[in-house]
Amino acid sequence: MTNLDKTDKKILEILQQNGKITNSELAKQINISASPTLERVKKLEKRGFIRQYVALVDPHKVGVTCFTYVEVTLKRHGKDPVQRFTSSIIKLEEVMECHHITGEADFLLKVATKDIPKYEDFIIHKLTALEDVQHLKTLVVLSTLKQETKISVTNGDEAR
């Protein structure tokens, strides 16, 4: 971690829990006045520690009930096939996450669709239609026991 003091870390922890917190409430929680608090937040945004603010939507309330993890193996390895695949995959709205990984597969995708038929449609008409895809392995999520968006920025600092 580069140049984050205890107050910056506390700000990041709080904002990850509640991105809608007012600056004055945030200032109270970190025990400094509002103006320096706002300056610190702006600095964290400018330095890229805070990428964006989002709303976490309940997927079932918007009709998204099928989550899958898909291992993708490419036909060929190298710069061009990887670039073609990644430039195509980032455009697919069903893909929530794409990770270039080690192991038997080349990529791991997290995919969200309305249901299994929509997932099948996604696989047939979008994913396997990409020229560099050789093999897929799908893991269907049956239930989710833990799902976090918060990243620990203290890395055990409190224990010291």
pLDDT of residue 154: 80
Q: Looking at the DSSP assignment, which residues form a beta bridge with residue 69?
A: 110, 139
Those residues with Cβ within 8 angstroms of residue 37's Cβ, 6 or more apart along the chain or in another chain: 11, 23, 26, 27, 30
pLDDT digits (tens, 9 = 90+) for 2-60: 689 999 999 999 999 999 999 999 999 999 999 999 999 999 999 999 999 999 999 99
pLDDT value at residue 160: 41
pLDDT of residue 36: 96
Spell out the residues 6+ positions from residue 147 whose beta carbon is closer than 8 angstroms to its own: none
Residue 158 has pLDDT above 70, yes or no: no
Q: Which of 26-30, 48-52, 114-118, 149-153 has the lowest mean pLDDT?
A: 149-153
> What domains appear along the chain, each with residue ranges and CATH number?
6-55 (1.10.10.10), 59-140 (3.30.70.920)
